[in-house]
Structure 1
Amino acid sequence: MKKEKIKVFDTLFDQYQHMGVTPEFHGKESNFTIFRLQEVFRELPFSAETSRLNFFVFNFTKNGQGMYHIDDEQYAIRPGCFYFTNPGHYRSYTWTAIEDVTLITFSEAFLKQYVHPHIFDQFPFLLAENFPVRNMTEEAFAEFERIYTQIHKEYVSQSLYRNELIGHLFVVLLLKVKEYFWEDYNPINEGNRSSQIVKRFRRLLDGHYRDVSSGKAETVLHIQDYADDQNLHPNYLSTVIKTKTGKSIGTWIMEKNMAEAKSLLRHTELSIKEIAYRLGFNDPAHFSGYFKKNAGVTALAYRKGN
């Protein structure tokens, strides 16, 4: 029997469209969504097929029941619990009861643009590989509820500064998650050898592009450079990254390039030509074509907010 190919979704909109579910997304192009699951899944039980997601997921279950599968792990979803998923993992779930459940999804690009360009320095747990469902007391859950309720209020608003307001509120939410669950987080103690390879690659990738963005690095790294950093053959590194995350190294580098390009366009006075050179493009015209292909708009239009 032929094994069914696992589907990969870049946004929650893509996943739900595939599932035939149509919740109301407010500005889906912002790469951020927040909504209540009870307004979406009205016929229960509901099961989602296994897929790989290229975005982050925060789930706050005030009152609901179900099962959550992440890679080879399985967790029960009960009232008062929180779970977190980052990009690249196998994920599926089943809901048997939903009375009050809030789901938040967001992309790395959103974090970089509206929260902080060096988001993973302050919140390294966002790159964590192991994140079991966490249960909270009513008092603790109420603290989170006040924050995500305010985020939802801004999400459905018509404010010109909606994403900026959400970004600031999201910092509060991340700090609260860090306070309750990850103050003792130590990435060195987490995961097997393949997990460590992925973590080191992602940290070098993020740190290098931080240097690129600030002008400290004059050249961009290539696959061979990332392999040399861990004394690995590039083919082996590529295989591990693809197997563990569902994305090739080339895709990781492209996405990081785009995230940094967008940040530089929006937050600096560098010319498009200077940005192109900083990101390793010898020909600004090549950068312009690359940016439009991956962003859907020209670099100039993006800078102007179009």
Structure 2
Amino acid sequence: MKHIPIHRLKDKTSAGMEIRCTYEDDTAKQGKQLGIHRDDHYVFFLIEKGDGSLMVDFNEVSIFGPALYYILPGQVHHVLASYNVNGWFIAADTMLVPAHYREVFENQIAIQQPYALSEEQYQQLLATTKLLHQHFNSDPEQPFYIQLLHSLLNSFIGLAAAGYCRASEAANTATRPYQITQQFKKLLKQHFVKHKSPSWYAGQLMISESYLNEALKKTSGSPVSYWITNEVLLEARRLLYYSELNVKEIAHAVGYEDHTYFSRIFKQNAGKTPLAFRQDYRK
């Protein structure tokens, strides 16, 4: 494929979300049909039983039910394996995920992990999910259909966010360094193609570069420059592995006019040239 496919929610539904139950025989089949792709929306998985694995941005993620997991918009992913998995799939337009919940889901610079559920937590999420599913499949012409649908979706997302808060002890991370890290991460995802200078991000956050470095080291263990380069290389690796763009096109896509300079930066950080990376990973 020339480019990594992007699945757009609006192409499937006008309701801003979709929900379906996944059964043992269907999960692997659906995963194979979807293939390698990105989504322009959030995806949540509520797994009742079974286990499976996904590849999410070069990280293999294993999920054992009962558990909750989500994929962020823009992450490249595909199903690796599925063993007797029963559960639920919920897709939600980013606009329907309140900002305070998005901060929870995006609070890890590294890859997010599945959240193992207690029986009580699972039953609470399951009851909300079933109500959401029932209403989604009811008559869309009834009064307040969309409003009720989005309210139920908000309840599910709120329960999911609360669970992840408890799992990561997010209450203890609501500090100034944590807030700075969140703001930096949001800026980075939006502007890494055009802006690669730590001082630019510090300026946007109206703090000194040294304080930005200090905050990121405290919350993630690494400085600003590491995370800028990491974001660039992650997108470059996605394009090298999943697309047919050549190195020059990929260099331009991640913000480098000089593709030889890009190749040099890539080799310094990845330990091999872009073409060697593509060849090794496609064996």
Q: TM-score by structure 2 length?
A: 0.57
Work out whether residues 44 and 97 of structure 1, in 8 Å CA contact, stay in contact via their aligned partners in 2.
Answer: no
Pick from 142, 153, 158 the counterpart of residue 170 of structure 1. 153
> What does residue 212 of structure 1 align with?
none
Which secondary structure state, in structure 1, belongs to the residue aligned with residue 120 of structure 2?
A: helix
| Cα offset, 1:189, TM superposition | 5.7
Q: Does 1:9 align with 2:6?
A: yes
Summarize the Cα distance change of 1:46–1:90 in structure 2 as closer, same or farther, 3 Å threshold.
closer
Summarize the Cα distance change of 1:34–1:45 in structure 2 as closer, same or farther, 3 Å threshold.
closer
| Cα offset, 1:155, TM superposition | 0.5
Pick from 191, 195, 200 the counterpart of residue 187 of structure 2. 200
Summarize the Cα distance change of 1:243–1:71 in structure 2 as closer, same or farther, 3 Å threshold.
same
> What does residue 120 of structure 1 align with?
99
Work out whether residues 6 and 50 of structure 1, in 8 Å CA contact, stay in contact via their aligned partners in 2.
Answer: no
Q: Does 1:136 align with 2:136?
A: no
Which secondary structure state, in structure 2, belongs to the residue aligned with residue 50 of structure 1?
A: coil
Work out whether residues 36 and 103 of structure 1, in 8 Å CA contact, stay in contact via their aligned partners in 2.
Answer: yes
Which secondary structure state, in structure 1, belongs to the residue aligned with residue 26 of structure 2?
A: coil
| Cα offset, 1:77, TM superposition | 2.2
Work out whether residues 45 and 97 of structure 1, in 8 Å CA contact, stay in contact via their aligned partners in 2.
Answer: no
Summarize the Cα distance change of 1:160–1:238 in structure 2 as closer, same or farther, 3 Å threshold.
farther
Summarize the Cα distance change of 1:142–1:78 in structure 2 as closer, same or farther, 3 Å threshold.
same
Q: Which runs of 5+ in 1 are unaligned?
A: 15-24, 112-118, 205-221, 247-306
* 1:168-212 C-alpha deviation (Å, 9 max, x unpaired): 12222223223322143348569xx9x9744235699xxxxxxxx
Pick from 134, 154, 159 the counterpart of residue 153 of structure 1. 134
> What does residue 102 of structure 1 align with?
88
| Whole-angstrom distance in 2 between the partners of 1:95 and 1:197 | 34
| Whole-angstrom distance in 1 between the partners of 2:51 and 2:60 | 14
Which secondary structure state, in structure 2, belongs to the residue aligned with residue 153 of structure 1?
A: helix
> What does residue 250 of structure 1 align with?
none
Aligned length: 204
Work out whether residues 45 and 68 of structure 2, in 8 Å CA contact, stay in contact via their aligned partners in 1.
Answer: yes
* 1:94-116 C-alpha deviation (Å, 9 max, x unpaired): 343345210000112344xxxxx
Pick from 45, 49, 69 the counterpart of residue 59 of structure 1. 45
| Cα offset, 1:36, TM superposition | 1.0
Identity of aligned residues (%): 13
> What does residue 17 of structure 2 align with?
32
Summarize the Cα distance change of 1:154–1:243 in structure 2 as closer, same or farther, 3 Å threshold.
farther
- TM alignment of 1:1-306, pairs within 5 A: 4-5=1-2, 7-11=4-8, 28-38=13-23, 41=26, 47=32, 49-111=35-97, 119-121=98-100, 123-129=102-108, 130-158=111-139, 159-183=142-166, 184-185=169-170, 186=173, 197-201=184-188, 228-231=200-203
| Whole-angstrom distance in 2 between the partners of 1:8 and 1:44 | 18
Which secondary structure state, in structure 2, belongs to the residue aligned with residue 125 of structure 1?
A: helix
* 1:36-80 C-alpha deviation (Å, 9 max, x unpaired): 122982775954533222110100110232112211321222220
| Whole-angstrom distance in 1 between the partners of 2:230 and 2:83 | 37
* 1:147-176 C-alpha deviation (Å, 9 max, x unpaired): 111111110011342221122122222232
| Whole-angstrom distance in 1 between the partners of 2:233 and 2:144 | 39
Work out whether residues 198 and 244 of structure 1, in 8 Å CA contact, stay in contact via their aligned partners in 2.
Answer: no
Summarize the Cα distance change of 1:161–1:241 in structure 2 as closer, same or farther, 3 Å threshold.
farther
Q: Which runs of 5+ in 2 are unaligned?
A: 205-224, 239-283
Please tell me the residue identity of whatever aligns with 1:175.
G
| Whole-angstrom distance in 2 between the partners of 1:109 and 1:69 | 26
Work out whether residues 36 and 101 of structure 1, in 8 Å CA contact, stay in contact via their aligned partners in 2.
Answer: yes
Please tell me the residue identity of whatever aligns with 1:138.
E
| Whole-angstrom distance in 2 between the partners of 1:39 and 1:30 | 27
